[in-house]
Amino acid sequence: MKAKFAIIPMLFIGMSGCDNGPSMAEMCELDAQICLDIQEDNWCKKERKAMLMANTDMHLAKDNYEKEGKTYELLLSLETYADCMGLASQIEHIKLKEKKTKRTNNYLNAKKHIEEISEQHIDSEHPLILYFLWSRYQNTTALEDFLDMEGSVALESPEAQLHLATYYAKRDREKTLSLLFHALELYQEGDVVNYEIFKSIATIFTDKKEYKQAYIWLKVLNLYAPQDQELNEANLASYAQSFNLNATFLDQVANKTLEKINQGQFTAPRF
Q: Which residues of 62-99 are buried (b: 16+ CB within 10 A; e: fewer)?
A: eeeeebbbbbbbbbbbbbbbbebbbebbeeeeeeeeeb
- Per residue in 103-161, pLDDT (tens digit) is 999 999 999 999 999 999 999 999 999 999 999 999 999 999 999 999 999 999 999 99
Query: What's the distance, CA 226 to chain centroid?
Result: 19
The answer on 246 and 206 residing in a single domain is yes
Nearest Cα to Cα of residue 205 among 237, 173, 158: 173
Is the domain of 67 the same as that of 155?
no
Answer yes or no: do 156 and 112 share one domain.
Answer: no
Q: Helix, strand or coil for residue 80?
A: helix
Residue 182: count of CB within 10 angstroms of its CB: 18
Identify the pLDDT of residue 1. 37
How many separate helices (H) and strands (E) can be counted in the chain? 14, 0
**230-252 per-position pLDDT tens digit:** 899 999 999 999 999 999 999 99
Contact assessment for residue 26 and residue 9, using Cβ atoms and an 8 Å cutoff: no
Cα dihedral angle (87, 92, 96, 102), rounded to 10 degrees?
30
Which pLDDT belongs to residue 195?
97
CB-CB neighbours of 12 under 10 Å: 17
* Residues 163 and 115 reside in one and the same domain: no
CA distance 253 to 223: 12
The answer to whether the CB of 211 falls within 8 A of the CB of 217 is no
> Is residue 258, in this structure, part of any structural domain at all?
yes
**Domain-located, residue 27:** yes
Q: How far apart are CA 161 and CA 167, in angstroms?
A: 10
How many Å separate Cα 231 from the centre of its chain? 20
**Would 1 be classed as within a structural domain?**
no
> How many structural domains does the chain have?
2
127 found inside a domain: no
Domain range enclosing 53: 10-122
The alpha-helical segments, DSSP class H, found in 4-92 are 10-15, 24-30, 32-37, 45-59, 64-88
Q: Does some domain include residue 193?
A: yes
**Average per-residue pLDDT for the chain:** 91
Can you give the pLDDT at residue 270? Answer: 84
Same structural domain, 160 and 246: yes
Domain assignment of residue 174, yes or no: yes
Residue 98 pLDDT grade (very low, low, confident, very high; cuts 50, 70, 90) = low
Burial class of 184 by CB neighbour count within 10 A (0 to 12, 13 to 18, 19+):
buried
- Specify the pTM: 0.85
157/56 same-domain check: no
Q: Assess whether pLDDT exceeds 70 at residue 13.
A: no
